Structure 1
Amino acid sequence: MASSSSPVIESTPPPPWESLPPEITAAILQKLGAVEILMTAVKVCPTWWRVSKEYPSIWRCINMQDSNVLRPVLLVKMCRCAVDLSQGQLTEININGFGTHDMILYISERSSQLKSLQLVNCRGILFASVVEAITNFPLLEELHLQQLDCMITVNGIETIGISCPLLKSLSFCDRKKKSMNFNNLGFYDAPGIECDKIAEAIAQNMPGLFQLQLIGSKLTDVGLKAILCGCPNLVSLDLRGCFNVFTCADVEQLCLERIKDLKLPRDSMDGYDFGADDSDDSDDDYGYGYGYDCDYDNHGRLDDDEHYFGRDYDDGYHDPDDVVIYDNEYAYENY
């Protein structure tokens, strides 16, 4: 009687990326953004998931932007997750289009090594929240606050200067890119006294600045001259939209002599580095300057799941069930 033999089943070799040294895998993941890693890369294989958790160097620089696909509240949760994975090694974070008071404080409590902070169009974060957070960033060298619908204050500038003695680059802009057409705009009717006080606070508390951007400020020659005198290392100055300056020829001449990279009030916005929301906005009728009010509560908390940014989450937003938010029980269906 012929003997029967069981068929030989050949095992499928693992994909080549699973056998890469973890340092190389970490270098690959570092090229991706935080959202791509948390939503996609960690589901490629258990190795990538493990490396993303065990190598905080992947998370030293976090870039996150609202793509109008994910709910802002989910982006906030993912941002916190990325900060946790950095294990205190975060040095640079760039947030565009979302954020809350609690989120910026969460970052500050876990990121004492931070050197660069950029917030663009983050309407849920007030300037007061930023100032409170920055007291935990003694190594901060770059601060960029773009299109935040809130009031910048003298006390806040003073606190930032005291808390961040290494600050070299500072940027403020309170207008959306889509509206930055200065050709048909006249001079402001409102006085620039408050903006001059802010400029004087910059001069008195941030003498180490090399770069300063004040797009749309109402400062006058008084404030500008204070900056030129108080910031002797300044080599780059952006005054686009600052139509109250250069009423005195000597101040303009001083700028031209001192500043290597000078952008004048009516220069084009080409090359503006910070992204903006180009969608229609009924609240976009305010003038330039740092004096308009915000439609937020006293704590800048807008993390309610149904009213964040006034958006309707049943129309156009995607909140996938399989988004990976790290915990101790993450499991793969196929492993």
Structure 2
Amino acid sequence: MDSSFTLEDVETIGISCPMLKSFTFTNSQTYIVDFSEHAVAIGKTMPNLCHLRLFKLRIENKGLEAILDGCPILESLHLLQCSDFHLQGGLGKRCYDQIKDLILDSYSSESEIDQADYYWDDDNDSSYSRYDIGNYDPFSVFPGDLSDDYVSDPDFY
């Protein structure tokens, strides 16, 4: 992992910004890095998070479970080009039941959703719709509540 962004940094952000609503981390390395403990820290320190986007990271089930446990109002979760989470059984159902806007894109050959891009949206009648990851911009704002006007709202931060 980029040595400039540590586990302690994630914890400090969460503790210092208790009203944080949106968090995005894009791994700039050319390889997938372990983010499981960082995900646990997100769950422990960011209870008001509504939107979370993680890109090109290794996240084990314990990290995903910690996020779901610790971020009860999380509406949007995008795990893009991430690996090592397994959605068999209760964890998969919990993700789909708890998160309104769920995008999973896994690099792991062991993941239940292997090398496939799926998009979950409660407003969509079908359970899964194809999502074109090739057009995905990890730096774009989240859909829904976050618009350019919303970011200028002083209560946002």
TM-score, structure 1 as length reference = 0.31
Q: 1:212: which partner in 2?
A: 52
Q: CA deviation at 1:226?
A: 0.6
Does 2:61 align with 1:221? yes
Distance 2:136 2:57 in 1: 19
Contact kept, 8 Å, 1:219 with 1:244, in 2: the verdict is yes
Contact kept, 8 Å, 1:154 with 1:201, in 2: the verdict is yes
Distance 1:247 1:258 in 2: 14
Distance 1:196 1:274 in 2: 22
Q: CA deviation at 1:243?
A: 2.1
Distance 1:255 1:205 in 2: 20
Q: 1:251: which partner in 2?
A: 91
Contact kept, 8 Å, 1:211 with 1:237, in 2: the verdict is yes
Moved over 4 A (4+): none
Q: 1:76: which partner in 2?
A: none
Q: Which amino acid aligns with 2:51?
A: Q
CA shift in 2, pair 1:273/1:156, >3 Å: closer
Which structure's residues are more often strand, by fraction? Answer: 2
Q: 2:43: which partner in 1?
A: 203
Note the residue ranges of structure 2 that are not aligned, 5 or more in a row.
106-115, 118-131, 141-157
Residues 88-103 of structure 1: pairs in structure 2 closer than 5 A? none
Deviations, residues 219-271 of structure 1 (Å, cap 9, x unaligned) = 11110011000000100000111121125332111111111100012423224
Q: CA deviation at 1:154?
A: 1.4
Distance 2:58 2:138 in 1: 21
Distance 1:254 1:150 in 2: 31
What is the alpha-carbon root mean square deviation over aligned residues? 2.3
Does 2:124 align with 1:272? no
Q: CA deviation at 1:175?
A: 4.5
Q: 2:26 aligns with which of 173, 179, 183?
A: 173
Distance 1:197 1:210 in 2: 20
Q: For 1:162, what is the secondary structure of its paired residue?
A: helix
Does 2:15 align with 1:162? yes
Q: For 2:49, what is the secondary structure of its paired residue?
A: coil
User: % of aligned pairs identical?
Assistant: 37
Contact kept, 8 Å, 2:26 with 2:138, in 1: the verdict is no
CA radius of gyration, larger in: 1
Q: Which amino acid aligns with 1:153?
A: T
